[in-house]
């Protein structure tokens, strides 16, 4: 009898076949209010979960007495109650290494598109207003040689420092829980406190996970410390920024603009002011959304689950060190 697992994301056919070689798979395209009753019922027999999104909390775990492993198709896992899983001996795995370069590319895309007003000017040209040379009212800001501030020097922050410093001659400031000498020697980077990062960055890029410590880390007081021509970029998790304070700062000219891929509540409401402000580029959480990377993330998550439920070595496990005791 193959172990039962619940899949709540669409997988490429070959990866679904790999999963079905090992498990009896109950498949949902994604978790919705409509399929929640069927999902909760399927939990009764599930030994594994694989997918992304949704809130996998104590209430869900209490309905899954046989659950042994959860494999998220994401690097972030703030929507999972990892402590509750650890208490229950449930292995929690993510996909930390396969999306780094793609997300760092997305940060550079947001820096360039926000500074140079790419979306706004392209739509202006497309609307038939281009009658001659573009006037200064549509000029943007230079990116090269400007100071990039990286809040969170993890894998993605490091890949971003490489792109910015080696590719665009940008001096790098960064803040994290501790300094990383390797970054400083390789990419002309300087560790600094948050206030310095806020006051000296031309582009402040947030690459932090969402934790109780990072929730609303950037609010009204922090935004006031930024330069009026500074641009805030967020590809980590939306709630790291107090979104209401950000909207007020963008409207008041406290900062120049924002390039966003994540929001306090997703999907971002169509009537959100963030979609209407001309100095904002708002992307729909596509940081890792390339064909290659999403395939690699899904393959990594499938292998994680197979290893955890049928093998003896947990890979990319968030809490193996705790479970190993």
Task: List residues near ligand 8YV by CB under 6 A.
Answer: 52, 73-76, 99, 285, 287-288, 297
Cα→Cα distances 263→139, 237, 258, Å: 27, 7, 12
Peptide bond into 185 cis (omega under 30): no
Is 266 among the residues known to form the active site?
yes
Element (H, E) at 102: helix 100-115
117/285 with CB nearer ligand 8YV = 285
Minimum CB distance to ligand 8YV smaller for 186 or for 215: 215
In angstroms, rounded to a whole number, what is the distance separating the alpha carbons of residues 52 and 76?
Answer: 9
φ, ψ (nearest 5 deg) of residue 207: -135, 55
Nearer to ligand 8YV among residue 56 and residue 75 (C-beta): 75
Q: Under 8 Å CB-to-CB from 224, ≥6 apart: which residues? A: 249, 254
Q: 56 with 76: CB under 8 angstroms? A: no
Compute the least distance from the CB of residue 74 to ligand 8YV, in Å: 3
Write down the least CB distance from residue 229 to ligand 8YV, Å. Answer: 29
Smallest distance, ligand 8YV to C-beta of residue 167, A: 22
Shortest-Cβ-distance residue relative to ligand 8YV: 76
Helix (H) or strand (E) holding 206: strand 203-206
44 noted as active-site residue? no
Least Å distance, CB 5 to ligand 8YV, is: 17
Give catalytic status of residue 314 as yes or no. no
Q: Which of 163, 237, 256, 294 is catalytic?
A: 237
Q: Decide if 52 contacts 183 (C-beta within 8 A).
A: no
Please state the closest distance from residue 153 (CB atom) to ligand 8YV, in A. 17
The pair of structure tokens assigned to 219 is 């609010």
Q: Please check whether residue 223 is in contact with residue 249, taking contact to mean a CB–CB distance below 8 angstroms.
A: yes
Of residues 214 and 288, the one with the C-beta less far from ligand 8YV: 288
The catalytic position among 44, 87, 266, 292 is 266
Would you say 94 or 117 has its CB closer to ligand 8YV?
94
The radius of gyration of the chain from alpha carbons, rounded to an integer in Å, stands at 22
Q: Which sequence positions are flagged as catalytic?
A: 237, 266, 285
């Amino acid at each position: 009898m193959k172990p039962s697992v619940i899949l709540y994301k669409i997988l490429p056919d070959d990866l679904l076949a790999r999963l079905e070689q090992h498990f009896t798979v109950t498949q949902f395209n994604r978790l919705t209010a409509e399929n929640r009753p069927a999902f909760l019922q399927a939990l009764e027999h599930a030994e594994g979960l694989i997918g992304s999104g949704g809130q996998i909390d104590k209430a869900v775990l209490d309905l899954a007495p046989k659950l042994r492993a959860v494999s998220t198709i994401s690097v972030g896992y703030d929507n999972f109650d990892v402590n509750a899983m650890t208490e229950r001996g449930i292995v929690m795995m993510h996909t930390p290494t396969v999306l780094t370069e793609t997300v760092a590319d997305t940060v550079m895309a947001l820096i360039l598109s926000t500074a140079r007003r790419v979306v706004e000017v392209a739509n202006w040209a497309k609307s038939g207003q281009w009658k001659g040379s573009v006037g200064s009212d549509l000029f943007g800001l230079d990116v090269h040689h400007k100071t990039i501030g990286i809040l969170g020097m993890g894998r993605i922050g490091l890949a971003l420092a490489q792109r910015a410093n080696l590719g665009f001659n940008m001096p790098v400031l960064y803040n994290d829980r501790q300094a990383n000498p390797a970054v400083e020697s390789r990419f002309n980077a300087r560790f600094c406190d948050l206030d310095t990062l806020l006051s000296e960055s031309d582009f402040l890029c947030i690459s932090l996970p969402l934790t109780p410590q990072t929730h609303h880390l950037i609010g009204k007081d922090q935004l006031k410390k930024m330069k009026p021509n500074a641009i805030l970029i967020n590809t980590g998790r939306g709630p790291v920024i107090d979104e209401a304070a950000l909207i007020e700062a963008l409207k008041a000219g406290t900062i120049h603009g924002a390039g966003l891929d994540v929001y306090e509540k997703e999907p971002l409401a169509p009537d959100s002011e963030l979609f209407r402000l001309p100095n904002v580029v708002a992307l729909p959480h596509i940081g890792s959304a390339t064909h290659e990377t999403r395939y690699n993330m899904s393959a990594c998550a499938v292998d994680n689950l197979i290893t955890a439920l049928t093998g003896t070595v947990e890979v990319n496990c968030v809490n193996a060190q705790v479970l190993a005791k």
